[in-house]
Structures are given as C-alpha cells and as structure tokens.
Amino acid sequence: MTDEIIKFDVPTVVLASNSPRRSRMLDDAGIKHVKIVGPIDDTKVNMQYAHENVSKKQQRDYVKEMALLKIKPFIGKVENGAVIAADTTVFCKGRILEKPLTKERCKEQHEFFSGKTTINYTGYAVYYNGKTLCRVMATKVRVARLPKAVIQEICNEPEILDCAGYRNQGNIGPYLRLKESQRGNLTGLHIPFVLKMLKSVGWQGTGHLTAD
C-alpha cells in the first residue's frame, strides 16, 4: 500500500487483510473483492497489549481498537471502494488467546481452553466515502474436553498457527458446543453482519458484490 489515493472505476470491495480464510469466505459468498494489506503488522502490535488478567470489556475494546487500527491507513485514501477490516481473538478465563505462531504455543493454548467456556470476539471495521463504522460480535462457545491425540492433530493442521485461538473447522469442530447459526463469527468474517455494516455507511455497491 502506498500513500497515493486508491481509485476504482467500478464500486469495489477492499479486504484490508492478508488472511486467506477471510478472502475465501468472500469468494464463497460470491463477493468480488481485492486484497490490499495496510502497513500495520498486527502480530507485532497486538502483543503490545495486555493478554493476561483482562476483563470482558477490555477484550471487546481490544478487538475494536485493533480493527480500527487496521482500517485507519485507508481513511481518505480510497475512492469508489468500501474497505473491510477485522480482528479476531478468543477470550478464556481472563486471557486473550492470539495467533499461536508456534506448535508449542498452539498445544499449550488448546490444553488451556480444553473443557472450558470461551468467547470469540471479532471487531469489524468498515470504511466508505468518509464514513467509518466499527462493531464487535461476540460468540460464546463451550469447548468439550480435547483428547491429547486430537490436540496433536490440530497443531499439525494447515493455517492453524495463524489462527487466533482456534479454527472452527478441522479436528476441533466436533468438540465445539454452539448453535450452527453462530459459527459464522468463529471464522473471523461474518458476511451478513459485514454487509449490514456496509449498508449503514451508505455503500450501494450491492449489485457489484455478487460474482458472475
């Protein structure tokens, strides 16, 4: 991303994330988009915040602040485009569980929340035509006791080290206790929720959201 104004000939959705999962979700929903990653290295920035002994309010404020931080570089820099940014973490027993980055930490995190209730918080931020909106979605999930063999399999799954907390796909899926309709937020990009936010800031590009 440069300091120049980003102009689009047709209304365009911009995903301000390098996440392949969020991009796949937009693709699966038939939403044409481009990926433009801002200069914010969220892996470095988020570790500057407290991750232990935090309250639920602090957790909500955290994902909201991170989402706004990701979208900030695009404010006033995009014409004819709607920008989407998001940040997801898992909260459990006063602890924020970020991307594990290593298999050792991945194993420790899954052992920690095994058999406990977690809350998945995702901060969503959208920007369009000078207007910015940020919302937080929370989903409570009961994680059943995870056998050691399952945890080992989970730690070997693709993309797992880049997932905050846990993925709702793969080996952990059968151990997550929640309504099927609530799983959208666990993926890090709840499409209907985001589309409502875009409409709230005046985005009228719905005709360009569905792929041919």
Name, in order, each residue with C-beta under 8 angstroms of 137's C-beta and a sequence gap of 6 or more.
121, 122, 124, 185, 190, 193
pLDDT value of residue 208:
46
Mean pLDDT of the chain: 90
User: pLDDT category, 212, cuts 50, 70, 90?
Assistant: very low
Lowest mean pLDDT among 128-132, 147-151, 183-187: 183-187
Token pair in block for residue 58: 């602090």
The predicted model scores a pTM of: 0.89
SS3 content of the chain, % helix, strand, coil (to 5): 40, 30, 30
As a whole number, mean pLDDT of residues 117-145 equals 96
User: pLDDT category, 31, cuts 50, 70, 90?
Assistant: very high
Cα end-to-end distance, the chain, whole Å: 28
* Burial status of residue 127 (CB atoms within 10 A of its CB: 0-12, 13-18, 19 or more): buried
Token pair in block for residue 204: 């009228």
Token pair in block for residue 51: 């991750």
As a whole number, mean pLDDT of residues 157-162 equals 92
The C-alpha angle 75, 209, 27, rounded to 5 degrees, equals 95
Name, in order, each residue with C-beta under 8 angstroms of 34's C-beta and a sequence gap of 6 or more.
12, 13, 14, 15
Within 10 A of 65 (CB to CB), how many other CB atoms are there? 17
User: pLDDT category, 50, cuts 50, 70, 90?
Assistant: confident
pLDDT in tens, 84-120: 999 999 999 999 998 899 999 999 999 999 999 999 9
Q: Is the pLDDT of residue 206 over 80?
A: no
Q: Is the pLDDT of residue 38 over 90?
A: no
φ/ψ of residue 186, rounded to 5: -70, -20
6-204 topology per CATH: Maf protein (3.90.950)
pLDDT value of residue 7:
93
pLDDT value of residue 39:
81
Q: Is the pLDDT of residue 15 over 50?
A: yes
Q: What is the C-alpha to C-alpha distance for residues 64 and 59, in angstroms, rounded to an integer?
A: 9
Name, in order, each residue with C-beta under 8 angstroms of 155's C-beta and a sequence gap of 6 or more.
103, 106, 107, 110
